[in-house]
Amino acid sequence: PTGRQGVIKRYRDKLPEIPGWAISTLGEGDTPLIEAPRISARIGARLYLKFEGMNPTASFKDRGMTVALSRAVADGNTAVICASTGNTAAAASAYAARAGLTCFVVVPAGKIALGKAVQVLAHGAKIVQIDGNFDAALKLCQRAERDLGTVALVNSVNPDRIEGQKTAAFEVAETLGRPPDALALPVGNAGNITAYWKGFKEWREAGHADSAPRMLGFQAEGASPLVAGHDFENPETVASAIRIGAPASKKGALGAVSESGGLIESVTDEEILEAQGLLASSEGVFCEPASAAGVAGLLKLAKEGRAPEGVVVAVLTGHGLKDPDVILNRTRLPEPIPATFDALVETMQRVEPE
């Protein structure tokens, strides 16, 4: 076999043991770390983008989902359930299909991005839309696992998810040859910041490095319970992936920030969309709105003279194609022109040089 082997086999000695016959993988992980020279110049640090949109279902969730679904198979489960703002649902649907398990996903009605909904439908998972937000969906799923006893919960409150997701920290340190000085990422339910910090700590403890990065977490202003210090009843943001008011891994996030000397702050929807646009148009990297929160945060810190120094990594958690509506709400395709050379030349001359 050639090519990507998936995170369970690649990091076998650093993950909980899973029997080979139970492993369910789609070749996740090994995502590119892309230098971002134009945004680096703006923030005054050397910025790299860990593009997690290059995973099989186009988000970082695949790293944890391969471990969670493989465990479900090893334990003899026949069904899994998750609450989701969309990406967890897409990843659970794909890995459950791969593993041959039934998958239930519980999502806020009408609030998940189009690409993610389409993925769930394509993989044949059972989609349950509720009149409620992500936080309500997660409570229902936790109760289903506890009271029904027939379904395994595959949200990031499941420790296998965190184990899988920590492999992204190993990859970053391996690719750079050392851990970065700071790592910026979006924070929603707070599983990912918990996982990265666990990964960097283990990397240091294993003697592969003598440092670990400052963890810089960014929430959307309208859904920023970790910044405000209290849960949000009605979280609101254009970044639907992180529209979460009561993060389940709050403790992990706050621990990561205090132990690493980092921070959790908020960015506005406007700052998020601006960062998404800048990444796409000046670096050629298209991520979904939530994924741009880390870069939005770095740009904000730079404006205030607080940008981190040295080598900085921003995690772009999901692909831009997940959420086409956000782009179409701002730009439209132009009207067609006659299929003549004259019309083409005239149209080309109307484009202002950059």
> What is the distance between the alpha carbons of residues 90 and 61, in angstroms, rounded to a whole number?
9
- Segment near ligand F0G (CB under 6 A); pick from 85-93, 122-130, 266-274, 323-331: 85-93
Closer residue to ligand F0G, CB minimum distance, 164 or 318: 318
Site for ligand F0G in 317-336 (CB under 6 A): 317-318
Q: Could you tell me the sign of the dihedral formed by the alpha carbons of 103, 104, 109, 111, in that order?
A: negative
How far is the C-alpha of 279 from the C-alpha of 37, rounded, in Å? 11
Provide the 10 A C-beta neighbour count for residue 143.
11
Helix (H) or strand (E) holding 271, with range, is: helix 269-278
Beta strands 46-51 and 33-35: pairing type? antiparallel
Q: Is 189 annotated as a binding residue?
A: yes
Question: By CB under 6 A, is residue 6 in contact with ligand F0G?
Answer: no
Query: With binding defined as CB under 6 A, does residue 213 bind ligand F0G?
Result: no
Q: Should residue 156 be labelled a site residue for ligand F0G when binding is judged by CB under 6 A?
A: yes
Ramachandran angles phi, psi of 106, nearest 5°: -115, 120
Selected range binding ligand F0G among 32-40, 184-192, 225-233, 269-277, rule: CB under 6 A: 184-192
Bridge partners for 214 per DSSP: 182
189: contact with ligand F0G by CB under 6 A = yes
- The answer to whether residues 156 and 248 touch, using CB atoms and an 8 Å cutoff, is yes
The nearer residue to ligand F0G, 211 or 258, going by C-beta atoms, is: 258
Segment 88 to 127, residues that bind ligand F0G, using CB under 6 A:
88
Q: Which stretch binds ligand F0G (CB under 6 A): 39-47, 78-86, 220-228, 331-339?
A: 78-86
User: What's the token pair of residue 267?
Assistant: 């960015």
Beta bridge partners of 153: 81
Contacts of 249 (CB under 8 A, 6+ apart): 156, 157, 162, 189, 190, 191, 193, 194
The answer to whether 55 is annotated as binding is no
192 counts as binding ligand F0G under rule CB under 6 A: yes
The only residue of 8, 18, 106, 190 in contact with ligand F0G, by rule CB under 6 A: 190
State the number of binding residues for ligand F0G (CB under 6 A): 22
Q: Which of 164, 191, 222, 245 binds ligand F0G (CB under 6 A)?
A: 191
297 is in an annotated binding site: no
Which residue reads 């666990």 in tokens?
Answer: 198
Q: Are strands 46-51 and 79-83 parallel, antiparallel or unpaired?
A: unpaired
Nearest distance in Å: CB 33, ligand F0G: 17
**Per CB under 6 A, 86 contacts ligand F0G:** yes
DSSP state of 109: T
Q: Is 234 annotated as a binding residue?
A: no
According to the binding rule CB under 6 A, does residue 297 interact with ligand F0G? no
* Residue 188 in the binding site for ligand F0G (CB under 6 A): yes
- The region of 27-35, 81-89, 117-125, 230-238 touching ligand F0G under the rule CB under 6 A is 81-89
Which stretches of 165-257 are assigned E, i.e. beta strand? Answer: 182-186, 214-220
CA angle in degrees (0–180, nearest 5) for 141-145-151: 105
- Distances from the Cα of 125 to the Cα of 26, 89, 91, angstroms: 17, 9, 11
Q: Which residue from 6, 180, 186, 235 is in contact with ligand F0G, where contact means CB under 6 A?
A: 186
Please report whether residue 31 would count as binding ligand F0G according to CB under 6 A: no
Question: Would you tell me which residues interact with ligand F0G (CB under 6 A)?
Answer: 59, 61, 84-88, 156, 186-192, 241-242, 288, 290-291, 317-318
Binding-site positions for pyridoxal 5'-phosphate = 87, 188-192, 317
